[in-house]
Structure 1
Amino acid sequence: METFPGVRAERCPFDPPPAIQSLQQRAPLTRVRLRNGTEAWLVTRYAEQKALLADSRLSSDATRPGYPIEVDVSAGGGTPISFILMDDPEHARLRRMVTSSFTIKRVEAMRPGVQKIVDDLLDDLLAGPKPVDLVQAFALPVPSLVICQLLGVPYDDHESFQENSKVLINRDATGDERRAAGGRLFQYLDGLVGEKIGNPGDDLLSGLAGRIADGELTRPEAVQMGVLMLLAGHETTANMIALGTLALLEHPDQLAKLRESDDPAFVASAVEELLRYLHITHNGRRRVALEDVEIAGETIRAGEGVIMANDIGNRDPSVFPDPDRLDLGRNPRRHVAFGFGVHQCLGQPLARMELQVVYSTLYRRIPALRLATELEKIPFKHDGSVYGVYELPVTW
């Protein structure tokens, strides 16, 4: 029985683990062993993933027996779990309270501000020494600045929340380390929410503080929502910027197409292809069956865990021809990098817009961008639930 999430091949750092690819070729559903010794169903093919992600007989409630999880879902100190690990109607109730901040119209209004953030960081990059670590100088600051502005979090505190975030997404962190980091983040956001209650501004945390005053939210619920958005709002996009840049540098023909295009539609499609090809969240979408579910000739019994491995779903050859090839000219919009169904990623419009701005600007302003080391020396995040690189030394 294979272990999930598996180990990547060193020579193919952009591809899912070979063992998981073999499972996809064998069958759409397979029993796998998790790192804590428990077992779950692994769903590797696109059609079955979408069907199960839309099936109300599968629960996202991480507190239910049989849910396939290896770590404590609490942020620490008895704080509530995130609404992404809840079922409707509670999931829908909490999600609705922040949806308006991530509408396409609202996000598009932020585009000029994001463009300025990108341009200013590139000005500093070009004026400074080289080589430079693109992660610390650019990939991490861009989404951190954006999410801080949206939430109303002081960017001066970024080193602290980024360090705690690193612990929370590190699969090798102990339960005590994870709880301590989660507790620190919770206390930090709790302090900010408290300030917003007495002195609200025009930001998302102030909006949540207002709902506390109106009795729509408890303070712990509001704080935990802030923790989720701060963590997800910078970690995923930062890793996508860095890993996407590395993938493009390793595929110079595709990089040239992106650098030379002034068509916003092509840039947007290129972002979707990079999301499909890389799909940086590799723990899969996890559920537990509430009742028996028959699919693809198998029966998932009530109480059994199910994992939709979206990274391998995005490499399903029946949906994406030649799926292991990065092709910015393909139509990749059916990918499941952001999930599917009622739990699909709330922040996807913001992530898409940030990546469009970055990918349409970085390679034009630094057309000679190249690695300052060999690919084999790049430290990949093999220990992370969000995949990427710890460092990306570049020069030009």
Structure 2
Amino acid sequence: MFVADDPSFIADPYPEFARLRTLGQVHWHEGLGQFIAVSHAAASAVLRHRSLGRLWTDATPAERFASFNMLHRNSLLENEPPAHTRLRRLVSSAFARGHVERLRPAVERLAGTMVGTLAERIAADGEADLLDDLAQPLPIAVITELLGVPGDDGPTLVAWSNAIVKMYEYGLSDGTRRAAEQAAEEFAEYLRALADQRRRRPGDDLLSHLAGSELTGDEVVATAVLLLMAGHEATVNVLGNGVHALLTHRHEWERLVAGAKDPAVVASAAEELIRYDAPLHLFERTATADVQIAGHRIAEGQKVAALLGAAARDPEVFDRPDTLDIGRSPNPHLGFGGGIHYCLGAPLARVEITAALAALARELPGLRPARAPRR
């Protein structure tokens, strides 16, 4: 069984996922202390089964992680109905497909400007960093504008977010855990002060809407933190992993360049990049009652994780699953999750990803990797 923090596994987990799928759809992973679902059918069942929920357990010792635990206890991601239903209802309209489509022209202009800057840096220096100059600043600029958070604070928010999400990894040092709590405390204080300003002087932004709603103060802060964190991470990872995949599969990059003016081609490419190299791999659930997944009993209280990268390469669902094909159809990947916790920001992420891909293919058709990337 794989070791979660093994560098060789992190570099390319897909051969191990393939081996596990041949042995069964669900396995017990001693190191993770939970079951893992590696087939598309089993992973989909984990995401959708109503007796498998997101049940938050405070990080311990609780007194050391007060802010980190507060952000998660009050997050819609870590709650089940009825709390989840209430929290999601209050923010879902901002991410509805129709509203997001109205943002598309602005996102496309922003992506074009950032790709122009990327091109200038390549011309001047011979190379530039895709993550620093496009993949990260684009979704941060969009989500901060949507929430009404000052754009100049974006780098600080990213630093806090990166420190907090380290807590979701395995084999953590005590220093990493302390840094996560400090970031959570500073992030919460920042947004609490901003929400207080919006209550006194509301604007036409999502944070004003949240601050003036029925949410408690902690729920406003936790929801805003979640949207700021989740509102950029998937897009960053899809663009980083995806552009690398395209540039190392030159035929597919050239297909994208040739079809960059066709929204259907770019949209199909985005879906395939989400499938091909999963932006987020492990989605965990806890059984609230005994559950059967692919013939395996998950007892009440036990944890099970859907491994989305493994599900995305399942040959029972995808023809030639290890082949990058930007025209793939159908493409029923699980990259945005499933069930009631399906990614709220999926429509916005798709707009950001397609805008960035189209701008890159249009403005930098000769783009090539400067060197081997570090995972």
Q: TM-score, normalised by structure 1?
A: 0.86
Instruction: Give the deviation of 1:18 after TM superposition.
Output: 3.5
Instruction: Give the deviation of 1:232 after TM superposition.
Output: 1.0
Q: Secondary structure at the match of 1:308?
A: strand
Structure with a larger share of its residues in helix: 2
| Amino acid across the alignment from 1:273 | E
Q: Secondary structure at the match of 1:169?
A: helix
Q: 2:30 aligns with which of 29, 33, 36?
A: 33
Distance in structure 1 (CA, Å) of the matches to 2:330 and 2:99: 25
Which position in structure 2 is the counterpart of 1:146? Answer: 142
Q: How does 1:216-227 map to 2 (within 5 A)?
A: 216-227=214-225
Which position in structure 2 is the counterpart of 1:204? Answer: 206
Q: 1:20 aligns with which of 17, 22, 30?
A: 17
Which position in structure 1 is the counterpart of 2:229? Answer: 231
Q: Per the alignment, do residues 139 and 224 of structure 1 end up closer, same or farther by CA in structure 2, a change over 3 Å counting?
A: same
Kindly provide the CA deviation profile for residues 182-229 of structure 1, in whole angstroms up to 9, marking residues without a partner as x: 111111111111111111111110110110xxxx11011011000000
Percent identity between the two aligned chains: 36
Which position in structure 2 is the counterpart of 1:122? Answer: 115
Moved more, 260-269 or 143-152: 260-269
Which position in structure 2 is the counterpart of 1:298? Answer: 296
Q: 2:41 aligns with which of 34, 37, 47?
A: 47
Moved more, 22-31 or 235-244: 235-244
Instruction: Give the deviation of 1:332 after TM superposition.
Output: 4.6
Moved more, 339-348 or 74-83: 74-83
Which position in structure 1 is the counterpart of 2:83? Answer: 90
| Amino acid across the alignment from 1:137 | D
Distance in structure 2 (CA, Å) of the matches to 1:77 and 1:305: 19
- Aligned CA RMSD, in angstroms, stands at 2.1
Q: 1:353 aligns with which of 340, 351, 366?
A: 351
Distance in structure 2 (CA, Å) of the matches to 1:52 and 1:4: 22
Q: Secondary structure at the match of 1:287?
A: strand
Distance in structure 1 (CA, Å) of the matches to 2:67 and 2:265: 40
Which position in structure 2 is the counterpart of 1:369? Answer: 367
Which position in structure 2 is the counterpart of 1:379? Answer: 374
Residues 75 and 81, structure 1, Cα contact 8 Å, conserved in 2: no
| Amino acid across the alignment from 1:100 | S
Residues 75 and 226, structure 2, Cα contact 8 Å, conserved in 1: yes
2:263 pairs with 1:267: no
Kindly provide the CA deviation profile for residues 264-306 of structure 1, in whole angstroms up to 9, marking residues without a partner as x: 1121111111101111112x11111122122323211111111
Q: 1:136 aligns with which of 104, 129, 132?
A: 132
Q: Per the alignment, do residues 318 and 272 of structure 1 end up closer, same or farther by CA in structure 2, a change over 3 Å counting?
A: same
Q: Per the alignment, do residues 4 and 288 of structure 1 end up closer, same or farther by CA in structure 2, a change over 3 Å counting?
A: farther
| Amino acid across the alignment from 2:88 | R
Residues 46 and 305, structure 2, Cα contact 8 Å, conserved in 1: no
Distance in structure 2 (CA, Å) of the matches to 1:305 and 1:78: 22
Instruction: Give the deviation of 1:133 after TM superposition.
Output: 1.4
Distance in structure 2 (CA, Å) of the matches to 1:48 and 1:222: 34
Distance in structure 1 (CA, Å) of the matches to 2:78 and 2:288: 15
Which position in structure 2 is the counterpart of 1:328? Answer: 326
Q: Per the alignment, do residues 73 and 302 of structure 1 end up closer, same or farther by CA in structure 2, a change over 3 Å counting?
A: farther
Q: How does 1:35-114 map to 2 (within 5 A)?
A: 39-63=33-57, 75-76=67-68, 78-79=70-71, 80-114=73-107
Q: Secondary structure at the match of 1:62?
A: coil
Q: Secondary structure at the match of 2:182?
A: helix
Residues 115 and 359, structure 2, Cα contact 8 Å, conserved in 1: no
Which position in structure 1 is the counterpart of 2:287? Answer: 289
Distance in structure 1 (CA, Å) of the matches to 2:86 and 2:31: 32
Distance in structure 1 (CA, Å) of the matches to 2:331 and 2:67: 34
List alignment gaps of at least 5 residues for structure 1.
381-396
Q: Per the alignment, do residues 243 and 47 of structure 1 end up closer, same or farther by CA in structure 2, a change over 3 Å counting?
A: same
Q: Per the alignment, do residues 75 and 333 of structure 1 end up closer, same or farther by CA in structure 2, a change over 3 Å counting?
A: farther
Distance in structure 1 (CA, Å) of the matches to 2:3 and 2:67: 24
Which position in structure 1 is the counterpart of 2:197? Answer: 195
Kindly provide the CA deviation profile for residues 304-326 of structure 1, in whole angstroms up to 9, marking residues without a partner as x: 11111111111111000211111
Moved more, 329-338 or 307-316: 329-338
| Amino acid across the alignment from 1:47 | A
Instruction: Give the deviation of 1:379 after TM superposition.
Output: 1.6
Q: Per the alignment, do residues 255 and 73 of structure 1 end up closer, same or farther by CA in structure 2, a change over 3 Å counting?
A: farther
Kindly provide the CA deviation profile for residues 160-184 of structure 1, in whole angstroms up to 9, marking residues without a partner as x: 1111111122234632221111111
Q: Secondary structure at the match of 1:371?
A: coil
| Amino acid across the alignment from 2:151 | Y
Instruction: Give the deviation of 1:17 after TM superposition.
Output: 4.8
Residues 102 and 346, structure 1, Cα contact 8 Å, conserved in 2: yes
Kindly provide the CA deviation profile for residues 313-351 of structure 1, in whole angstroms up to 9, marking residues without a partner as x: 111110002111111121153110011111110000000
Q: Secondary structure at the match of 2:27?
A: strand
Aligned residue pairs: how many? 360
